[in-house]
Chain A
Amino acid sequence: DAKTTQPPSMDCAEGRAANLPCNHSTISGNEYVYWYRQIHSQGPQYIIHGLKNNETNEMASLIITEDRKSSTLILPHATLRDTAVYYCIVRGRPYGSSNTGKLIFGQGTTLQVKP
Chain B
Amino acid sequence: EAQVTQNPRYLITVTGKKLTVTCSQNMNHEYMSWYRQDPGLGLRQIYYSMNVEVTDKGDVPEGYKVSRKEKRNFPLILESPSPNQTSLYFCASSPRGHYNTEAFFGQGTRLTVV
Cβ–Cβ contact B107 & A99, under 8 A: no
Count contacts between A and B, CB distance < 8 Å.
67
CA distance A6 to B33 in the complex (A): 25
Tell me the interface secondary structure of chain A in the complex. loop
Tell me the interface secondary structure of chain B in the complex. strand
CA distance A4 to B85 in the complex (A): 28
CA distance A36 to B45 in the complex (A): 16
Interface residues contributed by chain B, number (CB under 8 Å):
29
B78 in the interface (beta carbon within 8 A)? no
A29 in the interface (beta carbon within 8 A)? no
Cβ–Cβ contact B97 & A101, under 8 A: yes
What residues of chain B lie closer than 8 Å to A54, measured between beta carbons? none
Which residues, 67 to 115 on A, are CB-close (under 8 Å) to B? Answer: 91-94, 99-103, 105-108
B64 in the interface (beta carbon within 8 A)? no
Are A44 and B50 also in contact (CB < 8 A) when A32-B99, A32-B100, A107-B42 are? no
Cβ–Cβ contact B45 & A91, under 8 A: no
B interface residues with partner A (beta carbon < 8 Å): 4, 31, 33, 37, 42-43, 45, 48, 50, 56, 58-59, 88, 90, 92, 94, 96-100, 102-108, 110
A interface residues with partner B (beta carbon < 8 Å): 32, 36, 41-46, 49, 91-94, 99-103, 105-108
